[in-house]
């Protein structure tokens, strides 16, 4: 769900994206976060999906403490910078050819991989016609 910046619900979208980001950086599932803060899985799912707009500042503070993230970081509006057409560079392990892919595409493919239990970033066949190698991301810290 995407809200206009002038809509009061925009802040819920910002918070939901940040909680999800910091949870994933910890390597936790939604269930693990829910267990650590003693809330239900449906509560975490609601927050991360931007559909739950009734959580308290106390709940956010608790989440920030468990995630070991400054409370302000949960409210930081990084959505506008994420929308920019950033790209991630992939490089062939065999021939060295570099190829750029939109970061959002790679993030979406990574999330699809995670649903099947694969937590790795996607790799692809080399884009060089004369190579049968695989390309991998140069900087995995972008994720």
The pLDDT tens digits for 57-108 are: 889 999 999 999 988 888 888 655 444 447 788 899 999 988 888 877 787 7
User: What pTM was computed for the model?
Assistant: 0.54
Q: For residues 103 and 101, give the distance between their C-alpha atoms in angstroms, rounded to a whole number.
A: 6
Query: CATH homologous superfamily for 10-80?
Result: lambda repressor-like DNA-binding domains (1.10.260.40)
The pLDDT tens digits for 18-42 are: 999 999 989 999 999 999 999 999 9
- CATH 1.10.260.40 location in the chain: 10-80
Report, in angstroms and rounded to the nearest whole number, the Rg of the chain calculated over CA atoms.
18
């Amino acid at each position: 769900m995407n809200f206009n910046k002038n809509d009061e619900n925009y802040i819920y979208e910002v918070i939901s994206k940040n909680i999800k980001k910091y949870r994933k950086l910890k390597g936790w599932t939604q269930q693990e976060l829910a267990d650590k803060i003693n809330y239900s899985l449906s509560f975490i799912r609601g927050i991360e999906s931007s559909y739950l707009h009734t959580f308290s500042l106390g709940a956010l503070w608790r989440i920030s403490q468990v995630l070991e993230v400054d409370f302000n970081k949960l409210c930081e509006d990084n959505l506008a910078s994420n929308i920019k057409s950033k790209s991630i560079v992939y490089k062939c392990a065999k021939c060295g050819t570099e190829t750029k892919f939109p970061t959002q595409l790679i993030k979406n493919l990574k999330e699809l991989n995670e649903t099947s239990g694969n937590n790795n970033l996607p790799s692809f066949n080399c884009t060089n016609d004369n190579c049968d190698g695989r390309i991998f991301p140069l900087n995995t810290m972008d994720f």
